[in-house]
Structure 1
Amino acid sequence: MSRLCYKTLENLPPAVARPAYDPRATTAGIVHLGVGAFHRAHQAVYLDDLLAGDPQWAVAGASLRRADMRDALAPQDNLFTVAIRSGEVSQLRVIGSLKTILVAREDPEALLAALCDPAIRIVSLTVTERGYCHDPATGDLDPDHSDIKTDLDAPTRPTSAPGLLAEALRRRRAAGLAPFTVMPCDNLPENGPTAHRIVAQYAALRDGDLARFVERDVAFAGTMVDRIVPATSEDDIARISEALGVRDAWPVVTEPFSQWVIEDRFPTGRPDFASVGAEMVADVEPYERMKLRMLNGAHSTLAYLGYLAGYETVSETMADPAYERLVRELMTDEVMPTLEMPGTDLAAYRDALIARFHNPALKHRTWQIAMDGSQKLPQRLLGTVRDRLAAGRPVDGLALGVAAWMRYVTGIDENGAPIEVKDPLAERLRAIGAEAGRDPAKLAAAYLGVEAVFDRDLRDHEGFAGAVTAALASLLQRGAAATVAMENLK
């Protein structure tokens, strides 16, 4: 079977949407760090719509570590397919907004050259929470992070996101070029200010003058992004390639829903994002908080509790009425009261999320969502916990989500089989579980003492610690499914 590429575009079946422009006639105005499934199913689609009327906003993509995405897409002229699935219906669309993919670990100089191209006015990021090399509990740069130490030893050949941004901004300043706007699209609280702080803190470790330049003269535009994008399976590749009539080595699968809220801070110019459905706002933080706490917090809770109960996907988990009830009560009773969103129908947003979680076509694996929990918990659950505790309100549902993470990262499932825990702290977390054994009080206290996740305020809060310990005891004694099925969680 021939490959998807410029030459085979015209031979695709009529039902397959394709770029409404010539991808060869576009130029890159954006560098995107972290070309993965989410970027290709989200920002790249919006930009594909934009390029039909404004060809200067194509994307020069970059992978910070691995070359597999570059190796898969380069032979097909960086074209790829987005499969939008709902139930049994699947719509296929070929995206042409990606011009190239560079690999930082292989050739940082080539990526820095792209970042310093005068045509580049925006640098966007989807590097996941861990890619910011920060302490999730504080939101500050972690100077002891191995990638940061490596970059500081060779600051002109960086491979971390903070290192690359700082060095590119230094070079642009030295060349008399205006700084690009940095647009983080990751699930961080206040992701614009947080990314700004992290890059400035990294710059300060190099040079005080560079740090002041980053702080004062570089714009960071916060965003809220929302679209569920599971990992692509071999079956997905086979089915999509068969429907195309040509092979696509790495398509992406997603849901119909998509949302992009962008803080309008682009001093050197930007595309007309609003014309393709993005929402331009003065303050993105309320939208970030709503999505992090309602969607991502519920997703993580479902992932840990669902995996422990033997459910492979989110939709399988949601098919259990007890789990749907848990998620609905968690959002309604504990999360929504912490959100101030005038003009936003939070109940309708909740109902839409529940419907999206039920979509069986996505096959979003609980194991995938459970990755990097030590980086995700502070943003997804613990902020809500703090607000609830400050208001003197109960946190039983939230505590169950935290306890489920603790049970999961012990690395042993309910049948005594090993769990492949993917987390920067996996070894430490597994060792804690082995030492504490099945004593819920000892286990909860040990995990609450992990300062990279829990600040002292939560560790020392008797009410929170007690709720987590009680939930963990139930998970250890009854199992996840029986715990969720209990009528009186509160």
Structure 2
Amino acid sequence: MKTSISLNQENLSLIPSDVITPSYDRDKVTTSIVHIGVGNFHRSHEAFYTNELMERYGILDCGICGVGLLDYDRRIYNILKDQDGLYTLITKELDGSLTARVIGSIVEYIFAPENPIAVIEKMANPAIKIISLTITEGGYNLNEATGEFDFSNPVIVEDMKNPMSPKTVFGYLSQALKLRMQRGIPGCTIQSCDNIQGNGDVAKKALTEYIEKTEPELLPWIEENVSFPNSMVDRITPVTVAADIERLKTEFQVEDQWPVVCEPFKQWVIEDQFITGRPEWEKVGAQFVENVIPFENMKLRLLNAGHTVLGMLGALHGYKTIDEAAHDKDFQFFLKAFMNEEVTPTLGNLGNIDLNKYKKSLIDRFQNIYIKDLISRICLESSAKIPIFLLPTIKAQLQGKANITRATFIIAAWCKYNDGVDENGKSYAIEDALSNELIRAAALSHENPIRFLQIRSIFGDLIDNKTFVDAFLSSLKMIREKKIKECVAEINSRLS
């Protein structure tokens, strides 16, 4: 039996040749990016693009300093510290083969709870041109109902009382930007890499509302010296499981405590608004544009909504992974018709994008049997996802008096999903910030079906649209009376 090699800088030369390792000198890498939220997605996406730039072009002035803000981040901090910032990216190809490469672009890491001042000083360092974020939808601390910054959040209250010992991204950013202003240091770009619509705009709104209340004298300087480009990010990156770690060890003899698994597809479209310069990520496949909205809508309404479609249908049927649902012929037919007939008419002019090719690629990606993306992951926090991924399609189709049957059926399926049990009688947890409200509304909908649509923070004035309400009630009645596969087959037959 071959001996596995522990991943760290000293052992890089011992890693087997079928694993791609950094050929550049990591000692010569200089840091110009601070990234908050070093999870799997950041490591499969921004850190990957940056590593490629270093590897293929020898551009070494774009090293990343990772920052962990939460106590939860202690584990990844300890692992990256043990491994000198190195980790393995395992790409699961469509034919089942694996490509393993060691990523070396994260050259520093700070665990904020242990040393908040070090994080503030690092962000304020003149060498830092970009502070990027992967903090999830909830990390922007905007009220679900009003869209305004939530100053009642206990950690925000704490940050306002103790500004030099912050716990949130807003506390850290405000103090770092304040130091830059006071020291006469140029501004920087705050780059959201989160999968939310208008992510740069959201980051700017949240930060400026916080600063308006805490450091108002900073606002004019930020307006002049800080940019917030919007971007569209895309790469399916499932949770790393023990089998992935073991397979890396047995097939490649690499012992990595937390590798990252991803699909081969990747996409990054960014508005080119970087106030103090940026890495040339376009050399390695990123696309810089004036306006990201068309690309964003395409991705959110097709990929993300497609995931939601398969997630809700699959969860009710009892499937565990997205590839299972995507290979189900009834579900696959439903999804293709949803994309072609209900989403595509809402997308407008996409320039030279081959939309049919893109939609076909989505089906291939969903069907990748080697990714094993969990349906439970896709369905969690649906109250934050569905208003972004699905409702814009419904609203646009209503405006054009066009078909909303399948999109509305998924809303009804979501209502039933919140009963917390699949058709085989197996229960599952509803993991959602609004879980109590969702579960209660779903329960009450058995007696009063419209009750689910009365969650105004999600559906807004859609409850006042008779066409939508009638379609929802019809779908929910069908779902309550029949198996999900029967319902889908009936819709497929009726509308084909």
Instruction: Identify the range of structure 1 (389-398 vs 471-480) with the bigger mean alpha-carbon deviation.
Output: 471-480
Q: Is 1:311 the equivalent of 2:354?
A: no
Q: Which amino acid aligns with 1:291?
A: K
* C-alpha distance in structure 1 between counterparts of 2:394 and 2:111, whole Å: 39
* C-alpha distance in structure 1 between counterparts of 2:396 and 2:157, whole Å: 35
The partner residue of 2:472 within 468, 472, 475 is 468
1:488 deviation in Å? 4.3
The equivalent of 2:307 in structure 1 is 299
Show the 5 A alignment for 1:226-237.
226-237=234-245
Show the 5 A alignment for 1:273-422.
273-340=281-348, 341-422=350-431
The 3-state SS of whatever aligns with 1:60 is strand
The 3-state SS of whatever aligns with 1:325 is helix
* C-alpha distance in structure 2 between counterparts of 1:199 and 1:247, whole Å: 40
Q: Is 1:213 the equivalent of 2:221?
A: yes
- Give CA deviations for 1:96-139 in whole Å, capped at 9, x if unaligned: 01123333444433322221122111011111111111235665
1:17 deviation in Å? 0.4
After superposition, the Cα gap between the structure-2 partners of 1:483 and 1:101, relative to the gap in structure 1 and judged at 3 Å, is: farther
- Give CA deviations for 1:151-179 in whole Å, capped at 9, x if unaligned: 33333333223333233222221222222
After superposition, the Cα gap between the structure-2 partners of 1:14 and 1:7, relative to the gap in structure 1 and judged at 3 Å, is: same
1:25 deviation in Å? 2.3
Quick check: 1:64–1:104 contact (8 Å CA) kept in 2?
A: yes
Quick check: 1:410–1:432 contact (8 Å CA) kept in 2?
A: no
1:143 deviation in Å? 3.2
Quick check: 2:341–2:403 contact (8 Å CA) kept in 1?
A: no
The equivalent of 1:46 in structure 2 is 49
The equivalent of 2:89 in structure 1 is 82
Q: Which amino acid aligns with 2:376?
A: W
Q: Which amino acid aligns with 1:471?
A: S
After superposition, the Cα gap between the structure-2 partners of 1:206 and 1:25, relative to the gap in structure 1 and judged at 3 Å, is: same
1:338 deviation in Å? 0.6
* C-alpha distance in structure 2 between counterparts of 1:256 and 1:112, whole Å: 36
Show the 5 A alignment for 1:194-213.
194-213=202-221
**TM-score scaled by structure 2?**
0.93
1:2 deviation in Å? 4.6
1:279 deviation in Å? 0.7
> RMSD value over aligned CA atoms?
1.9
The equivalent of 1:68 in structure 2 is 75
Show the 5 A alignment for 1:22-37.
22-37=25-40
Show structure 1 runs of 5+ residues with no match.
none
The 3-state SS of whatever aligns with 2:395 is helix
The partner residue of 1:447 within 447, 452, 464 is 452
* C-alpha distance in structure 2 between counterparts of 1:105 and 1:429, whole Å: 34
The partner residue of 2:197 within 185, 189, 192 is 189
Identical aligned residues as a percent: 36
* C-alpha distance in structure 1 between counterparts of 2:110 and 2:418, whole Å: 34
The 3-state SS of whatever aligns with 1:369 is helix
* C-alpha distance in structure 2 between counterparts of 1:156 and 1:466, whole Å: 54
After superposition, the Cα gap between the structure-2 partners of 1:240 and 1:378, relative to the gap in structure 1 and judged at 3 Å, is: same
After superposition, the Cα gap between the structure-2 partners of 1:358 and 1:473, relative to the gap in structure 1 and judged at 3 Å, is: same
The 3-state SS of whatever aligns with 1:250 is coil
The 3-state SS of whatever aligns with 1:99 is strand
Quick check: 1:9–1:18 contact (8 Å CA) kept in 2?
A: yes
* C-alpha distance in structure 2 between counterparts of 1:458 and 1:379, whole Å: 14
- Give CA deviations for 1:65-92 in whole Å, capped at 9, x if unaligned: 2112112222111211111112321111
Q: Is 1:55 the equivalent of 2:63?
A: no
After superposition, the Cα gap between the structure-2 partners of 1:485 and 1:194, relative to the gap in structure 1 and judged at 3 Å, is: same
After superposition, the Cα gap between the structure-2 partners of 1:489 and 1:19, relative to the gap in structure 1 and judged at 3 Å, is: farther
After superposition, the Cα gap between the structure-2 partners of 1:482 and 1:205, relative to the gap in structure 1 and judged at 3 Å, is: farther
- Give CA deviations for 1:31-75 in whole Å, capped at 9, x if unaligned: 111111111111111100122322111111122321121122221
Q: Is 1:100 the equivalent of 2:108?
A: yes
* C-alpha distance in structure 1 between counterparts of 2:384 and 2:69, whole Å: 18
Show the 5 A alignment for 1:426-437.
426-434=435-443, 436=444
How many correspondences in the alignment? 485
* C-alpha distance in structure 2 between counterparts of 1:160 and 1:258, whole Å: 29
Quick check: 1:73–1:80 contact (8 Å CA) kept in 2?
A: yes
* C-alpha distance in structure 2 between counterparts of 1:103 and 1:404, whole Å: 41
1:245 deviation in Å? 1.6
1:249 deviation in Å? 0.5
* C-alpha distance in structure 2 between counterparts of 1:79 and 1:452, whole Å: 42
The 3-state SS of whatever aligns with 1:158 is coil
- Give CA deviations for 1:336-360 in whole Å, capped at 9, x if unaligned: 1111212222111111111111111
1:305 deviation in Å? 1.4
* C-alpha distance in structure 2 between counterparts of 1:27 and 1:147, whole Å: 33
Quick check: 1:374–1:452 contact (8 Å CA) kept in 2?
A: no
The 3-state SS of whatever aligns with 2:190 is strand
* C-alpha distance in structure 2 between counterparts of 1:367 and 1:175, whole Å: 48
- Give CA deviations for 1:234-276 in whole Å, capped at 9, x if unaligned: 0001101223323100111111111111111112111111111
1:145 deviation in Å? 3.6
Q: Which amino acid aligns with 1:54?
A: I
1:309 deviation in Å? 0.8
Quick check: 1:136–1:378 contact (8 Å CA) kept in 2?
A: no
Instruction: Identify the range of structure 1 (242-251 vs 257-266) with the bigger mean alpha-carbon deviation.
Output: 242-251
Quick check: 2:69–2:169 contact (8 Å CA) kept in 1?
A: yes
**TM-score scaled by structure 1?**
0.94
Quick check: 1:135–1:452 contact (8 Å CA) kept in 2?
A: no
1:454 deviation in Å? 2.3
Quick check: 2:445–2:451 contact (8 Å CA) kept in 1?
A: no
Quick check: 2:163–2:171 contact (8 Å CA) kept in 1?
A: yes
1:18 deviation in Å? 0.7
